[in-house]
Structure 1
């Protein structure tokens, strides 16, 4: 009897059919869930990519606004303690930032344009009058070299091309002034909201971040430290370049060395321009005015000292502050400028340090997961 009624569940064909149906149903649900997850992942990636494309035209303004927000945040907090209205405090801080950043650059740009135009006129007048030839022929050994150079090269044409190049550099900068104005306006527009709504922005980033709270705060700290190191490093290097150029102006007896040193400092901060806009026409004018040795000294000093000190000093300053190797710091700066343009001065180092921080988090989690 016991053997007769001791029938296994799997020996019943009806039970087999029902279990097979259940298995197939579960597999169908799993496959549907996988398809839904894949579709959701594809839609998420596509929407994020579209958001990136929409943000790309404003990337420079976002980068500069973020940098200014980090730099002026201590001042903004002091203003907020005295003025309890967040909107008015953000307006006041943004106005102070405009006075400190925009107005000096605007005044220097106007002065440089006027001086470049006047300098080009003076240089071309000396070339056309032939006075530069008489000045150089008075110097020993220079007359023979000048005669050989005139036979081999078209010196007036070379000088004209060089002055035209300098004028074109400033002109191209002014032609893009409309775009620059838009970037500046958007930068300070975004800066206002970064200052006023900073707590809401940070809470939103924390809510959508896949990192935990302490890890997200650590990422914020890394980005803030990188921005400060990058901006202060750029200002320090520009100050060194302007000081070196102004020192040589003083050594050679050129007028207003302190003024021109300050102007070259500000020009060294602007990525599209540089201190050569000033010292190169000055060296050409000295040579054409009969001071060939002074002109060569100024040109050599500008090319080999002023023009190279940023490539040496900037990576060293940044690497010490961010604890990076000098070569890595240089690549982050140069690569950032090549990829992002002028905003790469800020975005390049941020990308590198943020990536290094995220890789450190992954390494820490991997080590913890391997512990018994």
Structure 2
């Protein structure tokens, strides 16, 4: 009798039914897992910018943090010290320079409007008969004071949007350094947790960590290098045209070029307008052309080249990862775009290696 029951349990019909139920159960588990991961992604999405910048800062400041940890044995205090240094280096200078730029643009827009409303700019343009006549004709056809007022308002809005655009922007900055503190303090636990849940083996996970770290460093240092070149080129033209404080404005334009929402045009565009209204039309055209065609385009040429050399990518691929990353992720796409591409390329390399090994077997 026992033998008959065993035969029933192991009969093909029951075995097929058990397999069917097992497949249904696995399918439901997979669906629940995918749904839960999707929900986690949606919950994380509002903090994606803060997470990406905190990750980038953690990678960049990790060498400094390790030196601090050798002197300060308490992980919490050493993470606080490193985070404070990051705030002093990054936030305070940008804040001070942004305030300075806002004040200068406000003062410059007042000077420009005074020249337009008083008619002084018309007298200055009489030195250039042909160009002056064309501009005076344009004044009759267009509302020049209104256009200049709108332009200066636009520049001021662009600057102040970074400083006080919205409550969300402030929250992103605060969360970035809040997350940076935990990334520094709990880095070992975070890495162990990632390794535990990662479907990759140990050396593959370490390789993924390495490629992400290399990508972050290449992206950030590439951004800084390009911004330095833009600031130097713009400051150099200020010096050639004998404009005041070329070193100061070159430094300010370097920092503005690093900030995704702003750029060097915040400085050179009002300067070229002021030169034109002040009667230095040739200088104004030179500065505007230099700003648009040299300073404004050098990042599109130099940045992909620097990134491609560091990451061993083709220049076109590097450019697409940057432009596409900004399009998909916003400002944080400067970091997330190249990370997504290089991580995907590394994972495809792992699959290719495993496929080749299986074929050889």
TM-score interval (norm. to shorter): over 0.9
Q: Which residue of 2 aligns with 1:176?
A: 165
> Which of 179, 186, 189 is the equivalent residue of 1:190?
179
Sort the Cα spacing of 1:20 and 1:32 in 2 relative to 1 into closer, same or farther, 3 A: closer
The within-5 A match list for 1:1-372 is 22-372=11-361
Contact 1:137 1:146 in 2 (8 A): no
Q: Provide the secondary structure at the position in 1 that maps to 2:73.
A: coil
Q: Provide the secondary structure at the position in 1 that maps to 2:199.
A: coil
Give the whole-Å Cα distance in 2 for the aligned partners of 1:366 and 1:307: 46
Provide TM-score, normalisation by structure 1. Answer: 0.93
Residues 303-350 of structure 1 show CA distances to partners (whole Å, capped at 9, x for unaligned) of: 000000000000000000000010110111111111111110100000
Give the whole-Å Cα distance in 2 for the aligned partners of 1:351 and 1:283: 40
Provide TM-score, normalisation by structure 2. Answer: 0.96
1:175 to partner: Cα distance: 4.2
Residues 2-37 of structure 1 show CA distances to partners (whole Å, capped at 9, x for unaligned) of: xxxxxxxxxxxx98xx66982221111111110110
Instruction: Give the total of aligned pairs.
Output: 358
**Which blocks of at least 5 consecutive residues in structure 2 are unaligned?**
none
Q: Provide the secondary structure at the position in 1 that maps to 2:260.
A: coil
Q: Provide the secondary structure at the position in 1 that maps to 2:297.
A: helix
Give the whole-Å Cα distance in 1 for the aligned partners of 2:149 and 2:17: 78
**Which blocks of at least 5 consecutive residues in structure 1 are unaligned?**
1-13
Q: Provide the secondary structure at the position in 2 that maps to 1:141.
A: helix
Give the whole-Å Cα distance in 2 for the aligned partners of 1:352 and 1:21: 50
Contact 2:9 2:15 in 1 (8 A): no
Pairwise CA RMSD: 1.7
Moved more, 316-325 or 19-28: 19-28
Give the whole-Å Cα distance in 1 for the aligned partners of 2:91 and 2:212: 24
Give the whole-Å Cα distance in 2 for the aligned partners of 1:181 and 1:69: 20
Kindly name which structure, 1 or 2, has the bigger radius of gyration based on alpha carbons. 1
1:151 to partner: Cα distance: 3.9
Residues 200-230 of structure 1 show CA distances to partners (whole Å, capped at 9, x for unaligned) of: 1101100100000000000000000000000
Residues 100-153 of structure 1 show CA distances to partners (whole Å, capped at 9, x for unaligned) of: 111111111110111111111111111111100110012242333233323443
Give the whole-Å Cα distance in 1 for the aligned partners of 2:148 and 2:106: 15
Sort the Cα spacing of 1:143 and 1:93 in 2 relative to 1 into closer, same or farther, 3 A: closer
Contact 1:247 1:257 in 2 (8 A): yes
1:159 to partner: Cα distance: 2.0
Moved more, 181-190 or 133-142: 133-142
Q: Provide the secondary structure at the position in 2 that maps to 1:207.
A: helix
Contact 1:267 1:273 in 2 (8 A): yes
Sort the Cα spacing of 1:79 and 1:21 in 2 relative to 1 into closer, same or farther, 3 A: closer
Sort the Cα spacing of 1:333 and 1:29 in 2 relative to 1 into closer, same or farther, 3 A: same
Contact 2:231 2:250 in 1 (8 A): yes
1:161 to partner: Cα distance: 2.4
Q: Provide the secondary structure at the position in 1 that maps to 2:261.
A: coil
Moved more, 40-49 or 157-166: 157-166
